[in-house]
Amino acid sequence: MANMAVSRIKREFKEVMRSEEIVQCSIKIELVNDSWTELRGEIAGPPDTPYEGGKFVLEIKVPETYPFNPPKVRFITRIWHPNISSVTGAICLDILKDNWAAAMTLRTVLLSLQALLAAAEPDDPQDAVVAYQFKDKHELFLMTAKHWTNAYAGGPHTFPDCDSKIQRLKDMGIEEHDARAVLSKENWNLEKATECLFS
């Protein structure tokens, strides 16, 4: 790996470790291997959002051309958000693509992602299904996002109704995550979800 990328990541690592946010436990970063090419980030769900109380783990891959090209970041923790793929965790965020600047750091990236959780951009979606729900059935979206935060990121809100519907599908032999994904997609309409699964 290029010298510049390694030495910069090392310095950034220190920067994150010294930062205020780490004291507040709102962002975290750790090494995955010794080559400094892959890191694991963690952000706390911002307050007053459906993600509050959740911890979201991110995969960060540092290209050799860093910092001249952005790091490759995706969510490992599953999340229900218009700009994040509910399937792959891929993120639609301008600074991770065309609007990347060499002056940005891992810390600013993590903070930007936190900001993205607080302010979704449904008009520039990564996950069209989620974006549609966000715009058309916002209440349902909030519930789904909270439910996913609870299921995958350790969030506090539970929805017995959702759980029972998932259990119904699980009883039919569907994997829990598949059941949750289909139900979320079908706005928690159990009949439609069943139809979708078995047609």
The pattern of x and - marking residues 109 through 148 that bind another protein according to CB under 8 A reads ----------------------------------------
Label each residue of 10-30 as H, E or C: HHHHHHHHHCHHHHCCCEEEE
Nearer to another protein, 69 or 167 (CB): 69
- Angle between the N-to-C axes of helices 176-185 and 190-198, in degrees from 0 to 180, rounded to the nearest 10: 120
Nearer to another protein, 7 or 167 (CB): 7
Q: Binding to another protein (CB under 8 A): which residues in 153-172? A: none
Q: Binding to another protein (CB under 8 A): which residues in 53-72? A: 65, 67-69
Residue of 24, 32, 31, 75 lying closest to 51 (CA atoms): 75
Q: Binding to another protein (CB under 8 A): which residues in 80-99? A: 99
Reply yes or no on whether 92 is catalytic: yes
Residue 113's alpha-carbon distances to 44, 108, 168, in angstroms, are: 10, 9, 35
Q: Under the criterion CB under 8 A, does residue 4 sit at the interface with another protein?
A: yes
Q: Contacts with another protein: how many residues (CB under 8 A)? A: 20
- Phi, psi angle pair for 23, to nearest 5°: -65, -40
